[in-house]
Chains A and B, each alone.
Chain A
Amino acid sequence: MLEVVLRRLFVMPFLLLGIVTATFILAQFTKGNPLVSIIGAKALTNPEVVAAAKKRWGLDRSIPERYVIYVKNLARGDLGVSFRTKQPVLADLAQRLPATLELVICAMIVGAASGLLLGVISAQFHDRAADHAARFIALLGSCLPIYWLGLLVLFLFTVQLPWLPGPGRLDLRAEQIEPVTGFMLVDTLLVDSWNAFVDAALHLVLPALVLGWSVTGIVSRMVRASLLDVMKQDFITMARAKGASATRVLVHHALRNALIPALTILGFTFAYLITGSVLVEAIFSWPGIGSYAVEAARALDYPAITGVTIIGGLGFLIANLLTDIAYAAADPRMRGAAA
């Protein structure tokens, strides 16, 4: 176990450098003139303004020089300044990260719970109608375009049936909550505002369900395959022979073993959730990293785009590392084993 984790840790810096280099190379292919978005098209005719801007953003150096500057800056946590918000990209991202994390964590819970339930139903009723139905429901989640589904449920449940609040994290008319942790569900409780907490929770319902459903299929497929595999093994037959009830066999004997392989896909799920959150945040006006990325891409705000990409890659690396550690910790055979 330790070896697996250590090997991961060892390659992480190299992957990180790869990520950084890849984003730098990408930035070199930039077609649009970034100067336009810094100083505006009008000032392009003024050579002094152009020279000053170039110097400030390091655009007048050679490419290798720029690369060194770039890596040095990154190592200090300097992702540059956004052309659009005029703020350091890192500060922008830090401010928006909690919103995305809150959404992604809730969606992960939705996806894992629904995937587990459907996967168990699928395996228990292998190749019967319930199996097909469960798999179909899971498949729908991954085939429906998430931004379209978001749009439809938003219209359905806020306009046609006004049960839930509209987009955003809180009712705009409500009093503003001072961000402490940035997690709305926590912040509202910190100021003892029960109404605001309910409001924040209701705002989370639609985006979390839509985003969570998109990964249900990944989880349920894994749970189903893994459970079917375990159910064939001798110790299950043994448990049945000893007279354990079907529920007991499932919960105490099969599920515990089947869930360990299912853990391995959590990191993979994270990539899907990030992908989905970009689109879901755009639909639900969710002020997170995803909508920041969309705004940056639309405005061709390169430092911001690069920053989001690097942070996304870093987050993905960490998610995979955590998955490995969780896997190793959950499987007793991996504990203390050499590999």
Chain B
Amino acid sequence: MTVAASLKSKSIWPGITLRWSSATLIFALFVIISFIVIAVTIPLWSPYDPVGMAGRRLQPPSALHWCGTDALGRDVLTRALWGTRYSLPIAVFVLGVAVPVGVLLGTAAGFFGGIIDNAVMRLADVTLAFPPVLLAMAIAASLGPGLVNTAVALIIVWWPIYARLMRAQVLNVKKLDHVDAAVIAGAGRFRILFKHIMPLCWSPILVNTTMDVGLVILLASGLSFIGLGAQPPAPEWGQMVAEGASNFYSWWIALAPGMAIFLISISSNFLGDALRDVLDPQVKLPA
């Protein structure tokens, strides 16, 4: 599962070798940094108006419109670039809430045990008993379509994963000798938790979070695709693919946004892999 450090090196030109793992890491960093830069600076250099007409309707790609225009004559590339402003924040927001909540509850469950453990884990069990997309759909539908509600739905779907992961970590670390030593030395409960247990629990959480960026974007754009997330005319990627699907013969409409989702999701995977190698080669995450 890990890209072992002993990868067979392949020489590209004399003196410089590139391993597969380094190549993927460079690629991932390049994509992620570019996307962040685009998201921040796009208003300054946007080629066209993302929601206004830029030319004739349904034009195939040309020098003027690199990715063509859609059914309303909007420039597809421009819209795909603006799409970073939807997908990246949603991933940050969802994981920014779901991970701390999951980690906190998981830590409490693992450390205190008893009734807290039972309450948290049964809640997690019930949430995880649903196929994620169905639960997210049900939540998003009952809160009403929209990007914020989609994010809320994804948070509800995502926190139990981290609660389980963190609980397992805490339970494992709790058994280690240095924790016993700290207990004998008379350290307080919270000192033991924060100083002796939690610092050893972070790596899988960090690796998982990195990998989940891609998954959150995939699922969020999927919900937008079926009409529950971002609403038209927002240039959100999933919503753009849906527009492409309703203009089936104009294949270029869906091309750029789908590619963008793919690039960010594979990059988050590569980055997660690289992080795992750096942080702890021994760690094995549940699949």
Residues of chain A at the chain B interface (Cβ within 8 Å): 14-15, 18-19, 21-23, 26-27, 29-32, 127-129, 132, 139-140, 142-149, 151-152, 154-155, 159, 218, 221-222, 224-225, 265, 268, 270-271, 274-275, 278-279, 282-283, 293-294, 296-298, 300, 302, 305-306, 308-309, 312-313, 315-317
Are A145 and B144 in contact, CB atoms less than 8 angstroms apart? no
Bound complex: CA of A117 vs CA of B227, how far in Å? 37
Which residue from B10, B138, B226, B248 sits with its C-beta under 8 Å from A305? Answer: B138
**Beyond A127-B4, A144-B258, A155-B249, 17 additional pairs, beta carbon < 8 A:** A22-B127, A26-B139, A26-B142, A31-B143, A31-B144, A145-B222, A147-B238, A152-B251, A154-B248, A159-B248, A225-B284, A275-B134, A279-B133, A293-B134, A297-B227, A308-B138, A313-B129
Bound complex: CA of A18 vs CA of B124, how far in Å? 11
Q: How far is the CB of B69 from chain A (nearest CB, A)?
A: 18
Given A26-B142, A297-B227; A317-B137 close (CB under 8 Å) = no
Given A29-B142, A265-B287; A19-B129 close (CB under 8 Å) = yes
Which residue from A29, A143, A302 sits with its C-beta under 8 Å from B266? Answer: A143
Are B137 and A18 in contact, CB atoms less than 8 angstroms apart? no
Are B241 and A147 in contact, CB atoms less than 8 angstroms apart? yes
Given A22-B127, A297-B228, A305-B142; A145-B218 close (CB under 8 Å) = yes
Are B130 and A309 in contact, CB atoms less than 8 angstroms apart? yes
Of A144, A145, A317, most B-chain CB atoms within 10 Å: A145
Size of chain B's interface in residues, with CB distance under 8 A? 54
Are B287 and A275 in contact, CB atoms less than 8 angstroms apart? no
Are B126 and A127 in contact, CB atoms less than 8 angstroms apart? no
Which residue from A15, A159, A312 sits with its C-beta under 8 Å from B249? Answer: A159
Of B142, B238, B269, B287, most A-chain CB atoms within 10 Å: B142
Closest to B226 in A: A294
Of B125, B130, B140, B244, most A-chain CB atoms within 10 Å: B130
Residues of chain B at the chain A interface (Cβ within 8 Å): 1, 3-4, 6-8, 10, 20, 122, 125-127, 129-135, 137-144, 214, 218-219, 221-222, 225-228, 238, 241, 244-245, 248-249, 251, 254-255, 257-258, 261-262, 265-266, 269, 284, 287
Are A22 and B126 in contact, CB atoms less than 8 angstroms apart? yes
Are A316 and B266 in contact, CB atoms less than 8 angstroms apart? no
Are A313 and B142 in contact, CB atoms less than 8 angstroms apart? no
Are B222 and A279 in contact, CB atoms less than 8 angstroms apart? yes
Which residue from B125, B139, B249, B254 sits with its C-beta under 8 Å from A148? Answer: B254
Are B227 and A316 in contact, CB atoms less than 8 angstroms apart? no
Given A297-B137, A313-B129; A151-B143 close (CB under 8 Å) = no
Chain B residues with Cβ below 8 Å from A29 are 142-143
Are A145 and B143 in contact, CB atoms less than 8 angstroms apart? no
Given A151-B254, A222-B287, A313-B129; A32-B144 close (CB under 8 Å) = yes
Bound complex: CA of A275 vs CA of B98, how far in Å? 20
Are B126 and A151 in contact, CB atoms less than 8 angstroms apart? no
Are A300 and B261 in contact, CB atoms less than 8 angstroms apart? no
Chain B residues with Cβ below 8 Å from A31 are 142-144
Are B241 and A151 in contact, CB atoms less than 8 angstroms apart? yes
Q: How far is the CB of B119 from chain A (nearest CB, A)?
A: 12
Are A148 and B141 in contact, CB atoms less than 8 angstroms apart? no
Chain A residues with Cβ below 8 Å from B269 are 139, 142-143
Which residue from A18, A26, A297, A306 sits with its C-beta under 8 Å from B129? Answer: A18
Of B8, B129, B251, B269, most A-chain CB atoms within 10 Å: B129
Chain B residues with Cβ below 8 Å from A152 are 251, 254-255, 258
Which residue from B131, B225, B244 sits with its C-beta under 8 Å from A275? Answer: B131
Chain A residues with Cβ below 8 Å from B262 are 143-145, 148
Bound complex: CA of A109 vs CA of B221, how far in Å? 27
Are B241 and A148 in contact, CB atoms less than 8 angstroms apart? yes
Which residue from B20, B125, B266 sits with its C-beta under 8 Å from A140? Answer: B266
Chain A residues with Cβ below 8 Å from B249 are 155, 159
Which residue from B10, B122, B142, B248 sits with its C-beta under 8 Å from A302? Answer: B142
Are B130 and A313 in contact, CB atoms less than 8 angstroms apart? yes
Are B261 and A278 in contact, CB atoms less than 8 angstroms apart? no
Bound complex: CA of A278 vs CA of B135, how far in Å? 12
